[in-house]
Structure 1
Amino acid sequence: MRSLLMTLLLIIVAIVIYGSVTGGDDGMNRQLELSGHHMSDGIQRMSP
């Protein structure tokens, strides 16, 4: 029973950490979006 509880708590902590790293204003998803916009703007400014 104790090992099951520890396993569940570890899984919950891993999910919370993953959510905080990828979400939010400073998360990975937002950084990737900003990087994509920056690359897109650079490509659009190139003249053929």
Structure 2
Amino acid sequence: MQTILVIITFIIAMGYLLRKFVWTPVFESRNASSGTLDGNKTKCGKKDCGCH
């Protein structure tokens, strides 16, 4: 019985670590902002015109 609990805890911990350090960075890099300082919300576009 104790071995089963250890295995379940290990699987949960590995799932958490994979999600935190592998899954999220891979998919956040695909949705990266376009390069503006405030996340593409500037009125002047992608160039740094000094208005923000």
TM-score, reference length from structure 2: 0.51
TM-score, reference length from structure 1: 0.53
- Report the count of equivalent residues: 40
Larger radius of gyration: 2
Q: Determine the C-alpha separation between the residues in 1 that align with 2:11 and 2:20.
A: 14
Residue equivalent to 1:7: 5
Matched, 1:22 2:20: yes
CA RMSD across the alignment: 2.7
Between structures 1 and 2, the one with greater helix share = 1
Structure 2 residue ranges without an equivalent (≥5)? 45-50
Structure 2 residue identity aligned to 1:46 = K
Structure 1 residue ranges without an equivalent (≥5)? none
- Which of 1 and 2 has higher RCO (CA within 8 Å, sep 6+)? 2
Identity %: 3
